Amino acid sequence: MIGSHNYFTSSIGKKQIMALTGFGLVGFTLSHLLGNLLIFLGPDAFNFYAYKLTSNPLIYVAEAGLLGMFLLHICLAVILKLQNMAARPHGYYVKNRTGRGETIASATMPYTGLILLVFIIIHLLNFKFGSNYPTTVDGVQMRDLYRTVVEYFANPLYVVWYVFAMLALGLHTSHGFQSMFQSWGINHSKYTPIIQAASLAYGVVVAFGFSALAIFCHFQN
């Protein structure tokens, strides 16, 4: 039986923990998209949703947990990548990259991950810590986040960057989603194709959904 110390330091342990954090981030991404779709219903609906979310005292616990998952996911990804590079001769690595079974999504995971890291930092600076306009919905004063978002996407270059980052998100999650199951040994000739199809569908939905929001906001100006 593998001890707890050996499990956390082993390659399989790191992969499975990274899979769990990835699962949490995938769930957050989907819930974040569903909440943001309220933008299509207008300023009041979106601002009230954002107000109820941020005024909940548990938001700080959720944000701390999300940050922890995100940092752990990045650290484990970097460690595993470095370990794989050190364990494989250069010639074998090159041959493996061009071998069968590799997809664009799997081959670009480190690059899409880096793009998403940069995107998240910029995203937080511009939205969470961005302009704070006051508004009132049903007699309650709150932040007009809708105005902040629409003003940001008035610049077409920001829209292009956002869509580019969302395409990277779609690629990253479409491979990461199915990799979660592989890391936990869930492989079956009957179910694996279904998981792969669901992974691809998820990647397309999040990429298209978030991109549509940015494009929609651009034309509200």
Residue-level pLDDT at 153: 98
Distance, in Å, from the CA atom of 208 to the CA atom of 211, rounded to the nearest integer, reads 5
Region 9-22 average pLDDT: 87
Lowest mean pLDDT among 48-57, 101-110, 150-159: 101-110
Contact of 198 with 127, CB cutoff 8 Å: no
Per-residue pLDDT band at 61 (split at 50, 70, 90): very high
Number of domains in the chain: 1
Handedness of CA 26, 31, 36, 37 (dihedral sign): positive
The per-residue pLDDT for range 87-123, each reduced to its tens digit, is 775 544 444 444 445 788 888 999 999 999 999 999 9
Residue-level pLDDT at 2: 52
* Residue among 70, 29, 73 at smallest CA distance from 202: 29
Residue-level pLDDT at 8: 73
The residue with greater pLDDT, 128 or 94, is: 128
Residue-level pLDDT at 179: 85
Residue-level pLDDT at 5: 63
Question: Alpha carbon 44 to chain centroid distance?
Answer: 26
Distance, in Å, from the CA atom of 53 to the CA atom of 142, rounded to the nearest integer, reads 12
Distance, in Å, from the CA atom of 172 to the CA atom of 112, rounded to the nearest integer, reads 6
DSSP per residue, 116-167? HHHHHHHHIIIIITS---EEEETTEEEE-HHHHHHHHTTSHHHHHHHHHHHH
Residue 91 burial (10 A CB sphere; 0-12, 13-18, 19+)? exposed
Give the up-direction half-sphere exposure of residue 194: CA atoms within 13 A in the CB hemisphere. Answer: 6
The residue with greater pLDDT, 98 or 213, is: 213
Residue-level pLDDT at 100: 47
Mean pLDDT for the chain overall: 89
Helix, strand, or coil here: 33? helix
CATH number at residue 184: 1.20.1300.10
Distance, in Å, from the CA atom of 86 to the CA atom of 130, rounded to the nearest integer, reads 42
Structural domain for 56, as ranges: 4-218
The per-residue pLDDT for range 23-37, each reduced to its tens digit, is 999 999 999 999 999
Residue-level pLDDT at 98: 42
Residue-level pLDDT at 90: 56
